Chains A and B, each alone.
Chain A
Amino acid sequence: MRFIPVTCEERAEMLAVVGVDSVEELFADLPEDARLARPLALPEPMGEVELAAHLRGLAARNADSEGVVSFLGAGCYDHYIPAIVDAVVSKPAFFTAYTPYQPEVSQGTLQAIYEYQSMVCQLTGMEVANASMYDGATAFAEAALMAVRITKRRRVLVSGAVHPEWLETLRTYVEGGAAVVEAVQSREGVTEAKALTSALADDVAAVMVASPTFFGTLEDVPAIAAATHSAGALLVLGANPILLGVLESPAAQGADIAVAEGQPLGNPMSFGGPGLGMFACRQEHLRQMPGRVAGRTVDVDGRPGFVLTFSTREQHIRREKATSNICSNHALNALAAAVYLSAVGSEGLAGIARSCISKAHYFADALVATGRFAREFAAPFGHEFTLRYRGDVAAMQSAMLERGFLAGLDLGRTSSDLAGLVLFAVTEKRTRVEIDRFVAEVGAL
């Protein structure tokens, strides 16, 4: 049998040692009525040749970024992934290992995590970062719970301009009553300052915003931070890791906890998962942080080495008093992010960010110039922007898909208030030729 190396003869020897005649006897503890009296109703096994053909067939029924020109983003981005990234994450010593609970034989994973944490601190300006969360949305939700623990307050104000799936995830995470989530209205694609200040009070644990917002706009984070801090609340800021190459760090902008969806850093879109939850905060809040942390120490011979540390926050030690229930995280995606950031470096990251932003601005101007689109929001934007389409968005998108383009996200799909709006994202992979072709085609519809 594939992946089961024991031979028939060996099986007989093993049964003899155990002292039973058949494997069935080993299942004697299973009560009769809990037994499955028939084989599972599943397909027959497939050999590797057939299996590969079958999988290729399924994959062929999806449009993918090699076949279509994508202007879709909204939390998942088609950035270029340097070849070295997959070369590293494909090393079996990394991807077939478990959580590094035995540090003597896990120094590779542990050092890679430590370096990842260091890079996240560099990007966010924070002092500590964890080894990862599942994705940006769950990192955002966990940040709210952390702020509640730190401030011992329960109201959480969330900008209506954050990704709707982040907001929904947060709402689910507080179903148990840990916090009361209130959405603060957005205007012009950013958090409405007046609505925020009137909601702020001394029972607010956290103000939670993202910059760029879901709409691609940039918030006035320092102003929001000032208002938040004057109420004694913490500021949780969702960032985009590519834009952090050119944008002021969350810490410098006044955030207390920074989170981000790390997929853009060397991870494939993969239909939306696995992504990477980046999570960083100030040192003073370390003990309330969820997730694993690697630290540098020395071994008994005085040689430098790495361990998982501050584990008394975690479920395997603290059980119901843990800061989170997270156990498996997204370590391999964090490794990909670290390799990506090493490959591009700070100049490269800034260059990629600038390239995306330049192309996005060029694209936005050209779309508006067709007369079919109008700018919706005045706020500055990075590599993603929202336009109003003068026509039927769904019809435009399907016509453009026939022409080989993914024409952004129809925001009407996320909320009826947003009908008519389209969110476009542009990465460094898009060329002027592709952009010009899109503009010409959409203008001619």
Chain B
Amino acid sequence: MRGDDLRERRIGTLIFELGAEESRCVEPPRADVPQVDLQAALGEQVRTVPPALPHVTEVDIARHYERLASANFGVDSGFYPLGSCTMKYNPKVDEWACRLPGFAGVHPYQPESSAQGALELMWELQGMLGEIAGLPAVTLQPAAGAHGELTGLLVIRAYHSARGDSRKKVLVPDSAHGTNPATVAMCGYEVVQVPSDERGGVDLEALKGLLDTDVAALMLTNPNTLGLFDENIARITEAVHAIGALVYCDGANLNAILGKSRPGDMGFDALHINLHKTFATPHGGGGPGAGPVAVSAQLAEYLPGPVATRDGEGTYSLSIPESSIGRMRSFAGNFGVLVRAYAYMRAMGRLGLAEVSEQAVLSANYLKELLRQAWPLAYDRVCMHEFVLSGAQMRKEHGVRTLDVAKRLLDYGYHPPTVYFPLIVDEAMMIEPTETEGKATLDRFAAVLLRIAEEAAENPDLLHGAPYTTPVRRLDEAAAVKRPDLAWRPGPVVGG
């Protein structure tokens, strides 16, 4: 189907190398007012050397990006069981909705009276997220999960400061995602690591030993990054509250508990929700997402503004909470992402969302049963929406690492699971099937992983060399650091 020329040019040919000096795609509109003399208008600051941007036609652009797209794997390409990331299907109607001119063409500073539909959507979304969280106050401002973490911890900091209480530490389990300790550090707190117990939960005794009045908060993911619901959650939040500290929930794993359990009811004071995970907005090749934060009533006044409000007459507006920590970014939030999440939630409705979690959890447990004969489970318990296998034994017996297994999966047409996370599991492989995959997909995937386990025993080198069928094979990451090539630059002859 594809000519040799296309195949050769698939990877590596840069857009800067296409087209010719005279190639053009979109030209500026014809001048209908007198053109300013730039030197006269702007003075000294006029650019003398133009930026070297591509010179290409629209056909060049269309083919270039089609080629790049063909070298990419997305949820629409196939099964993407990337643990912790909830790579569920992204409904097409959501993409249509966010592009409606009445959403995409709205300016953040136009009068509120001329943006009532947008504000209503935000207000409704705040309410739905608050109901799911079991926490009454919601800000839609944060742009991603990590941004939500920063928001939540700054809110907690403001809460303590308002009490004249300057606490210094935040507790973070050893199973936590890297953004958690990074966020704690950005907030000027010291990170104190909490060990996990032999069942994969927070070690309650160790936690109690770490709790003192210098602790501002515990940051916890529940279900946690092992895919396990912490059975002691009520005792944990109670112990933390007993010393006047608060509990923050990393809501990355909310897809397991929609309509089943609410972080607010577990005793959490604040939570971020990754709309790009749980509420089906696309990951975009790395973003944009959205990380709304829900908090308890006592924290509501500290939320960053603006938040959407509604008055008695049903008029919507934006307002800044009373003791707000301030802004986390420009404008009110990643509105285009909020539209998609809102559309998804309305499509699913109250029962549909509970069914999402039921199926996500069932599918994970099913897949776990199919795989456990070949890969030891890190923790042999009923899991939530994901589970973690350990490749330690395979490494010891066959010299095959989890990385090799992941690369071999690429040859079979699957995106690998998350690997080497969480850090507390040796040779970790974290699998999250999500509810949007059928049973046949799960069966085929399991069969392939079991086949790979056989390959590992029979012919380890086959796995060491994988992948073989991808647009490129394993890349030299050390060379990328040793000889950094982070941007194309025009050669001396280009442009004359």
Contact = CB atoms under 8 A, between A and B. Distances in A.
A98 B82 contact: yes
Which one of B121, B333, B410 has the highest number of Cβ atoms from chain A below 10 Å of its Cβ?
A: B121
Given A98-B285, A102-B406, A175 B154 contact: yes
A319 B355 contact: no
A339 B329 contact: no
Nearest to A102: B416
B61 interface: yes
Contact of A102 (B147, B336, B415): B415
B439 A6 contact: yes
Interface stretch (A10-18, A183-191, A192-200, A227-235): A10-18
A176 B187 contact: yes
B112 to A, nearest CB: 10
Contacts, number: 719
A285 interface: no
A246 B42 contact: yes
Contacts of B33: 358-359, 362, 432, 435
Contacts of A295: 480-481, 484-486
Contact of B178 (A46, A316, A341, A361): A316
Contacts of A269: 104-108
Contacts of A260: none
Contacts of A173: 150, 186
A72 B107 contact: yes
Which one of A1, A92, A127, A357 has the highest number of Cβ atoms from chain B below 10 Å of its Cβ?
A: A92
A58 B117 contact: yes
B448 to A, nearest CB: 15
Interface string B38-80: 1001111111111111111010011011111111111111001
B285 A332 contact: yes
Contacts of B472: 103-104, 107, 299, 303-305
Contact of B179 (A92, A121, A325): A325
A415 interface: no
Interface stretch (B202-210, B276-284, B392-400, B454-462): B276-284
B487 A96 contact: no
Interface stretch (A23-31, A202-210, A367-375): A23-31
B326 interface: yes
B439 A14 contact: yes
B132 interface: yes
A55 B97 contact: yes
Contact of B352 (A45, A48, A100): A45
Given A3-B435, A34-B233, A95 B335 contact: no
B6 interface: no
Q: What's the interface size class on B, roughly?
A: 35 or more
Given A112-B65, A345-B55, A347-B50, A107 B471 contact: yes
Contacts of B251: none
A64 B486 contact: no
A14 B345 contact: no
Interface residues of A, number: 212
Contact of B188 (A67, A104, A115, A178): A178
B418 to A, nearest CB: 8
A96 B287 CA distance: 10
Given A221-B45, A273-B143, A298-B479, A96 B90 contact: yes
Given A317-B178, A358-B33, A380-B42, A59 B102 contact: yes
B116 to A, nearest CB: 5
A265 to B, nearest CB: 11
A27 B361 contact: yes
B80 A98 contact: yes
B286 interface: yes
A304 B11 contact: yes
Interface string B99-138: 1111111111111001111101100000010011010000
A46 B61 contact: no
A406 B110 CA distance: 7
A309 B481 contact: yes
A276 to B, nearest CB: 9
Which one of B25, B31, B287, B343 has the highest number of Cβ atoms from chain A below 10 Å of its Cβ?
A: B287
Given A331-B287, A431-B32, A108 B70 contact: yes
Contact of B182 (A121, A324, A332, A431): A324
A4 B258 contact: no
A342 B90 CA distance: 28
A244 B42 CA distance: 12
A66 B101 CA distance: 7
A70 to B, nearest CB: 6
Contact of B283 (A98, A321, A333): A98
A351 interface: yes
Contacts of B362: 6, 11, 14-15, 18, 23, 26
Nearest to A408: B109
B438 A5 contact: yes
A330 interface: yes
B424 interface: no
Interface string B306-333: 0000000000000000000111111111
Contact of A58 (B120, B327, B334, B438): B120
A274 interface: yes
A377 interface: no
A261 interface: yes
Contacts of B28: 344, 348, 351-352, 354-355, 428
A364 to B, nearest CB: 11
A166 interface: yes
Interface string B262-287: 10011100000010100010111111
B12 A304 contact: yes
Contact of A36 (B27, B145, B262, B343): B262
A76 B437 CA distance: 39
A245 interface: yes
Interface in A29-63: 29-31, 33-36, 39-46, 48, 51-52, 54-63
Interface string B171-189: 0000001110111111111
A403 interface: no
Contact of A97 (B56, B72, B114, B157): B72
Contacts of A11: 359, 362
Contacts of A330: 143, 284, 287-288
A69 B68 CA distance: 37
Given A98-B85, A129-B487, A246-B38, 6 more contacts: A58-B120, A104-B467, A114-B486, A134-B288, A176-B189, A325-B179
26 contacts: A7-B439, A26-B361, A59-B102, A64-B101, A76-B331, A93-B74, A107-B11, A111-B14, A117-B487, A173-B186, A248-B47, A269-B105, A269-B106, A270-B104, A270-B336, A273-B337, A274-B337, A293-B486, A295-B484, A301-B473, A322-B185, A329-B286, A333-B284, A345-B24, A361-B36, A433-B32
